[in-house]
A and B are shown apart, each in its own frame.
Chain A
Amino acid sequence: MSGLSDILHLLFTANLWQATLAAAVLLLLPALGGVISERSGVVNIAMEGMMLTGAFFGVVADLAWHNAWLATGVAVLAGALMATIHAVVSIQFRADQIVSGIAINIFAAGLTVFLVNRIYGLQDVGHVGPTEGLPYINVPGLDQIPFFGKVLFQQNVVVYMALVLLVLVHVILFRTRLGLRIRAVGEHPQAADTAGLNVYAIRYSSVITSGLLSGLAGAFLAIGVSNTFVPNMTDGRGYIALAAMIFGKWTPFGAFVACLIFGLGQAVYDNNSIIHVSPYLLSMLPYILTLVVLAGVVGRSTPPAADGLPYVPGSE
Chain B
Amino acid sequence: MPLGSVVFAFVVGALICLVTGANPIDAYAGLVCGGLGIGCTQGENPALQISNTIVFFIPLVTTGVAVALPFRAGLFNIGAEGQLLAGSVACAAIGIKFSTLPAPILLPMVLIGGMAAGAVWAGIAGVLKATVGAHEVVTTIMLNYVAQWLVRYLIIGGPLQLGPGTSKSVPIGEGARLATLLPADNSMIIFGLPASVYRVHTGLLISLLAAAVFAFLLWRTAFGYEIRAVGQSQKAARYAGVSVRRTIIVTMLIAGAFSGLAGAVQIAGVDHNLTDKYFSDTTGFDAIAVALLGLGSAVGIILAALLFGALHSGGAIMQSDAGISSNLVLVLQALILFSIAANFVGAIRRGLPFGGAPAALPPELPPAAVLMSEAAAPPPEK
Taking CB atoms and an 8 Å cut-off, the chain B residues in 102-139 that contact chain A are 124, 128, 132, 134-135, 137-139
Set of chain B residues within 8 Å of A100, measured between Cβ atoms: 337-338, 341-342
Tell whether, in the assembled complex, residue A93 and residue B343 are in contact, meaning their CB atoms are under 8 Å apart.
yes
Nearest CB in chain B: distance from A12 CB, A: 29
Nearest CB in chain A: distance from B196 CB, A: 31
Taking CB atoms and an 8 Å cut-off, the chain B residues in 141-172 that contact chain A are 141-143, 145-146, 148-150, 152-153, 156-158
When the two chains form the complex, which single residue of A114, A303, A313 contacts B135, counting CB atoms closer than 8 Å? A303
Interface membership of B22, Cβ < 8 A = yes
Nearest CB in chain B: distance from A82 CB, A: 11
Contact string against B for A residues 106-119, beta-carbon threshold 8 Å, 1 for contact and 0 otherwise: 11011101111110
Interface membership of A23, Cβ < 8 A = no
A308 to B141 alpha-carbon distance, docked (Å) = 16
Nearest CB in chain A: distance from B161 CB, A: 11
On whether A287 and B331 interact (CB within 8 A), knowing A99-B337, A117-B325, A295-B134, the answer reads no
A314 to B357 alpha-carbon distance, docked (Å) = 13
Interface membership of A290, Cβ < 8 A = yes
Tell whether, in the assembled complex, residue B132 and residue A315 are in contact, meaning their CB atoms are under 8 Å apart.
no
A45 to B148 alpha-carbon distance, docked (Å) = 18
Set of chain A residues within 8 Å of B21, measured between Cβ atoms: 118
Taking CB atoms and an 8 Å cut-off, the chain A residues in 75-122 that contact chain B are 85, 88-90, 92-96, 98-100, 102-104, 106-107, 109-111, 113-118
Tell whether, in the assembled complex, residue B137 and residue A45 are in contact, meaning their CB atoms are under 8 Å apart.
yes
Tell whether, in the assembled complex, residue A92 and residue B341 are in contact, meaning their CB atoms are under 8 Å apart.
no
Nearest CB in chain A: distance from B99 CB, A: 24
Tell whether, in the assembled complex, residue B138 and residue A242 are in contact, meaning their CB atoms are under 8 Å apart.
yes
On whether A103 and B341 interact (CB within 8 A), knowing A290-B142, A294-B128, the answer reads yes
When the two chains form the complex, which single residue of B128, B146, B292 contacts A295, counting CB atoms closer than 8 Å? B128
Main secondary structure of the interface of A (DSSP, over half): helix
Tell whether, in the assembled complex, residue A99 and residue B368 are in contact, meaning their CB atoms are under 8 Å apart.
yes
A residues contacting the other copy or chain, number (CB 8 A):
55
Interface membership of B285, Cβ < 8 A = yes
Tell whether, in the assembled complex, residue A246 and residue B138 are in contact, meaning their CB atoms are under 8 Å apart.
yes
Main secondary structure of the interface of B (DSSP, over half): helix
On whether A85 and B366 interact (CB within 8 A), knowing A109-B327, A281-B149, the answer reads no
Tell whether, in the assembled complex, residue A94 and residue B22 are in contact, meaning their CB atoms are under 8 Å apart.
no
Contact string against A for B residues 8-23, beta-carbon threshold 8 Å, 1 for contact and 0 otherwise: 0000000010001110
Nearest A-chain residue to B142, judged by Cβ? A287
Contact string against B for A residues 281-300, beta-carbon threshold 8 Å, 1 for contact and 0 otherwise: 10110011011001110001
Set of chain B residues within 8 Å of A92, measured between Cβ atoms: 354-355
Interface membership of B281, Cβ < 8 A = no
Tell whether, in the assembled complex, residue B369 and residue A118 are in contact, meaning their CB atoms are under 8 Å apart.
no
On whether A93 and B145 interact (CB within 8 A), knowing A110-B331, A310-B369, the answer reads no
Interface contacts beyond A109-B327, A111-B327, A313-B359: sample of 6 additional A-B pairs, CB < 8 Å, sorted by A:
A106-B282, A110-B329, A243-B138, A278-B153, A284-B145, A294-B138
Q: B residues engaging A (CB < 8 A)? A: 16, 20-22, 76, 78, 124, 128, 132, 134-135, 137-139, 141-143, 145-146, 148-150, 152-153, 156-158, 280, 282, 285, 288, 292, 324-325, 327-331, 333-335, 337-338, 340-344, 347, 354-355, 359, 363-366, 368-369, 372-373, 376
